[in-house]
């Protein structure tokens, strides 16, 4: 037997005594014990803020992203050990894959977000706001990492994913984490954290772990900290209502279990691909992780004319599902995580049975595959039927957190929408239909009470991630009963851990703060030309003022011949009556093309290539006879890592292309993206 430890203050430590004894979900063999009693959480939080927070805040988004990528690769190399320990929780290979590789996938996904952030420790949000007539006073927003700790209180059902999907986001933002997994499955979390700490990829103090009960973990949080909770709605509301949370205005994100619904569209009649997809997806959601998912299907809403066929098809599939020791051949569903969970699910099923009928399954009589399996934590799938769901409403109020769902009929799609919303707020819903109008009507009608809606049909089925799979680049959370919070969400999730602050000042000052050129800032003339400078030598704001060119009718004709763009406004002066143009006008793309001819220094140098154009717009018509010039300004620099030893060391430079006419007025604006070599080989 083992004593599973806490990682705090830079060391692995035992708590005082024994708080919880832990057991193998399949065999009921004792695994060990855990305790966090006696831990000084004020000291733990302070250590995270001072040690981990300071180190992370010094790193840029690019560095943090590369750190997450390195960690993901490191953990993938060690995943076999995690699968072994995951089996102790009763997870099948598929269950473990969702938890382990799904969690590591969150690290990869958040690492890729670095491309959406500047090469700075903080984020520059949006665009500048003009605050004065002459442009000498502007406003902007920056978002800096909060100087507290992200305290993550996680549920028992995803010991790896639950941790990694959260810390991937706060680490990307530059905020350290204190993770408190469920004590019942913390042994798997501990194995992963031991590897993370041993890797030394994360700065010390950026990840701490509490494996025990965590009593008092929220007693010392303050306005700098962020608390996230995943678990039952009842427990989440108790924690969110703690005086400390409100007194200190602590950010609290609640993601609670919910009564998620799946809907069979009226157009998905028996015999269609969509009908079969609905049956397969529903049974999968009942049995994966033995129904122990916050996103699992709890309510099955189907057209009343198909309810018998649906009940029969689901029951047949459930009957073929082998339950038992996941190591045995053919087993598709293991036990619940603990005997306590099985007792709680039984209690909920017994309560639901007072209001609706069990049409498949038996609480006491079911077969288990595997001689080593003890019945304590096993629970067979239960399918209820409720023919009067608008009046017998227990199915919309009581959740059995296991392989339990209720099938119910609807007459019209509006009824299905109303039934879905009777769950009082859900993490996810799905509709299976071949009809896009039916899908649209459901999504628009049900969205206000759901955090995510899957629309499933034959076209997307092969690549669909399914009803129960939150994706790292999309938000995970929901209104009402689901907690009202949001997790993940790609860039949105990272911003949750940053403090937005408005800044005001002269454009030159705001340029210095944001390290992004602001219109109206000083524009020192580049000498030599910016295309002659390496990445490190370029300075934000330095500008090339080009020679000028007078636009002619011949330019317009020649560009039309080359491009094939013979739009009437460029080529037919007799067709301009009733338009905004006074006479034939130069192509906008000719203006940008000519601008490139003006600002490019053609000799071979540090610039490797131009690979993109952003934010291009044409702000004023240019007629033959107008004279244009370009202000070509270093706008922003983003470091780029080498992909291999042979890769050329380089960075990304964004240049502002400001094309102006003889009056000094801007006629076109764009940002070009370039790859520029570095002086140093790193």
Is the pLDDT at 1 greater than 70? The verdict is: no
d(CA 130, CA 428): 41
Is the pLDDT at 260 greater than 80? The verdict is: yes
Burial of 291 (0-12, 13-18, 19+ CB in 10 A): buried
| Residues annotated as catalytic (active site), given as ranges | 255, 294
DSSP character at residue 462: T
Number of other CB atoms surrounding residue 80 within 10 Å: 8
Look-up: residue for tokens 């692995």?
Answer: 12
Burial of 562 (0-12, 13-18, 19+ CB in 10 A): exposed
d(CA 588, CA 405): 60
DSSP character at residue 531: G
Mean pLDDT of the chain: 92
Average pLDDT estimate for 244-268:
92
Q: What pLDDT shows up at residue 489? A: 81
CA-angle at 350, arms to 348 and 354, nearest 5°: 115
Assess contact for 495 and 141: CB atoms under 8 A: no
Is the pLDDT at 533 greater than 70? The verdict is: yes
Q: Which token pair is 308?
A: 């018998």
Residue percentage of the chain with pLDDT more than 70: 99
> Angle at which helices 161-173 and 186-199 pack, to 10 degrees?
40
Task: List the single range of 177-181, 374-378, 418-422 with lowest mean pLDDT.
Answer: 374-378
Is the pLDDT at 624 greater than 90? The verdict is: yes
Q: Of the candidates 478, 480, 454, which has an alpha carbon nearest to the alpha carbon of residue 466?
A: 454
- Please report the beta strands in 341-486, taking only residues with DSSP state E, as ranges in sequence order: 357-360, 382-385, 404-410, 426-432, 450-456, 475-476
Is the pLDDT at 216 greater than 80? The verdict is: yes
CATH number 1.10.20.140 given to 42-257+492-498? no
| Measured distance between the N- and C-terminal CA atoms of the chain, rounded to whole angstroms | 48
Average pLDDT estimate for 19-40:
90
Q: What pLDDT shows up at residue 12? A: 95
Assess contact for 196 and 71: CB atoms under 8 A: yes
Could you say which of 3.30.930.10, 1.10.10.10, 3.40.309.10, 3.10.250.10 is the CATH number of the domain covering 260-469? 3.40.309.10
Q: Which token pair is 443?
A: 């999504």
Q: Which token pair is 629?
A: 């010039």
42-257+492-498 and 523-677: same fold? Answer: no
Q: What pLDDT shows up at residue 682? A: 60
Q: Of the candidates 304, 237, 259, which has an alpha carbon nearest to the alpha carbon of residue 422?
A: 259
Residue percentage of the chain with pLDDT more than 90: 76
pTM for this model (two decimals):
0.88
Assess contact for 68 and 219: CB atoms under 8 A: no
Query: 482-503: buried (b, 16+ CB within 10 Å) or exposed (e) per residue?
Result: bbbbbbbbbeebbbbbbeeeee
ω into residue 528 within 30 of 0, thus cis? yes
Q: What pLDDT shows up at residue 515? A: 92
Partnered with residue 408 across adjacent β-strands are 301
DSSP character at residue 648: P
Domain locations in the chain as residue ranges = 42-257+492-498, 260-469, 523-677
Q: Of the candidates 284, 310, 307, which has an alpha carbon nearest to the alpha carbon of residue 297?
A: 284
CA 507 to chain centre: 34
Q: Of the candidates 382, 391, 427, 398, which has an alpha carbon nearest to the alpha carbon of residue 261?
A: 427
- The topology (CATH level 3) of 523-677 is Thiol Ester Dehydrase; Chain A (3.10.129)
φ, ψ of residue 459 in degrees (nearest 5)? -65, -35
Q: pLDDT tens, 69-121?
A: 999 999 999 999 999 999 999 999 999 999 999 999 999 999 999 988 988 99
d(CA 220, CA 244): 8
Burial of 185 (0-12, 13-18, 19+ CB in 10 A): buried
């Amino acid at each position: 037997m083992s004593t599973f430890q806490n990682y705090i203050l830079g060391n692995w430590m035992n708590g005082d005594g024994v708080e919880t004894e832990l057991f193998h979900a399949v065999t009921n063999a004792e695994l060990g014990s855990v305790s966090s009693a006696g831990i000084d959480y004020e000291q733990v939080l302070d250590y995270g803020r001072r040690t981990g927070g300071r180190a992370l805040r010094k790193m840029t988004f690019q560095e943090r992203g590369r750190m997450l990528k390195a960690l993901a690769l490191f953990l993938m190399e060690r995943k076999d050990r995690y699968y072994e320990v995951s089996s102790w929780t009763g997870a099948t290979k598929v269950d473990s894959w969702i938890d382990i590789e799904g969690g590591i996938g969150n690290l990869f996904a958040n690492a890729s977000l670095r491309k959406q952030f500047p090469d700075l420790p903080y984020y520059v949000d949006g665009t500048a706001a003009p605050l004065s007539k002459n442009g000498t006073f502007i406003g902007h927003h920056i978002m800096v990492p909060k100087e507290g700790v992200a305290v993550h209180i996680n549920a028992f059902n995803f010991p790896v994913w639950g941790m990694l999907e959260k810390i991937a986001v706060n680490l990307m933002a530059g905020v350290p984490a204190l993770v408190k997994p469920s004590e019942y499955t913390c042994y798997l979390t501990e194995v992963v954290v031991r590897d993370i700490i041993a890797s030394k990829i994360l700065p010390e103090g950026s990840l701490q772990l509490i494996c025990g009960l965590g009593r008092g973990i929220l007693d010392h949080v303050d306005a700098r900290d962020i608390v996230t909770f995943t678990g039952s709605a009842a427990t989440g509301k108790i924690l969110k209502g703690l005086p400390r949370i409100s007194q200190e205005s602590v950010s609290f994100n609640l993601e609670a279990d919910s009564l998620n619904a799946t809907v069979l569209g009226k157009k998905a009649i028996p015999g269609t691909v969509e009908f079969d997809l609905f049956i397969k997806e529903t049974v999968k959601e009942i049995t994966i992780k033995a129904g122990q998912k916050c996103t699992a299907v709890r309510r099955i809403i189907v057209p009343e004319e198909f309810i018998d066929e649906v009940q029969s098809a689901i029951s047949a599939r459930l009957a073929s599902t082998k339950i038992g020791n996941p190591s045995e051949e053919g087993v598709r569903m293991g036990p619940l995580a603990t005997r306590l969970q099985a007792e709680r699910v039984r209690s909920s099923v017994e309560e639901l049975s007072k209001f609706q009928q069990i049409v498949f399954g038996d609480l006491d009589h079911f077969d288990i595959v595997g001689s080593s399996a003890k019945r304590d934590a096993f629970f067979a799938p239960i399918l209820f039927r409720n023919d009067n769901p608008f009046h017998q409403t227990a199915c919309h109020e009581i959740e059995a957190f296991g392989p339990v769902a209720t099938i119910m009929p609807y007459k019209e799609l509006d009824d299905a929408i109303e039934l879905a919303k009777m769950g009082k707020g859900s993490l996810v819903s799905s509709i299976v239909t071949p009809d896009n109008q039916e899908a649209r009507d459901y999504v628009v009608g049900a969205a206000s009470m759901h955090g995510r809606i899957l629309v499933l049909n034959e076209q997307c089925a092969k690549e669909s991630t399914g009803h129960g799979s939150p994706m790292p680049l999309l938000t995970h959370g929901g209104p009402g009963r689901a907690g009202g919070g949001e997790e993940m969400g790609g860039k949105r999730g990272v911003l949750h851990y940053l403090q937005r602050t408005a800044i005001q000042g002269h454009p030159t000052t705001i340029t210095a703060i944001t390290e992004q050129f602001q219109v109206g800032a000083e524009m020192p003339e580049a000498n030599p030309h910016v295309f002659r400078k390496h990445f490190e030598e370029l300075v934000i704001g330095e500008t090339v003022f080009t020679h000028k060119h007078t636009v002619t009718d011949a330019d317009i004709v020649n560009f039309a011949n080359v491009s094939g763009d013979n739009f009437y406004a460029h080529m037919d002066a007799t067709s301009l009556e009733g338009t905004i143009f006074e006479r034939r006008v130069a192509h906008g793309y000719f203006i940008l093309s000519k601008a490139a001819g003006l600002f490019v220094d053609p000799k071979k140098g540090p610039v490797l290539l131009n690979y993109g154009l952003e934010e291009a717009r044409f702000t004023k018509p240019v007629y033959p006879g107008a004279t244009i010039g370009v202000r070509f300004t270093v706008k922003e620099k983003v470091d780029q890592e080498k992909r291999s030893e042979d890769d050329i060391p380089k960075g990304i430079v964004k240049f502002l292309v400001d094309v102006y006419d003889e009056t000094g007025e801007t006629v076109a604006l764009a940002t070009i993206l370039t790859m520029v070599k570095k002086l140093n080989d790193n």
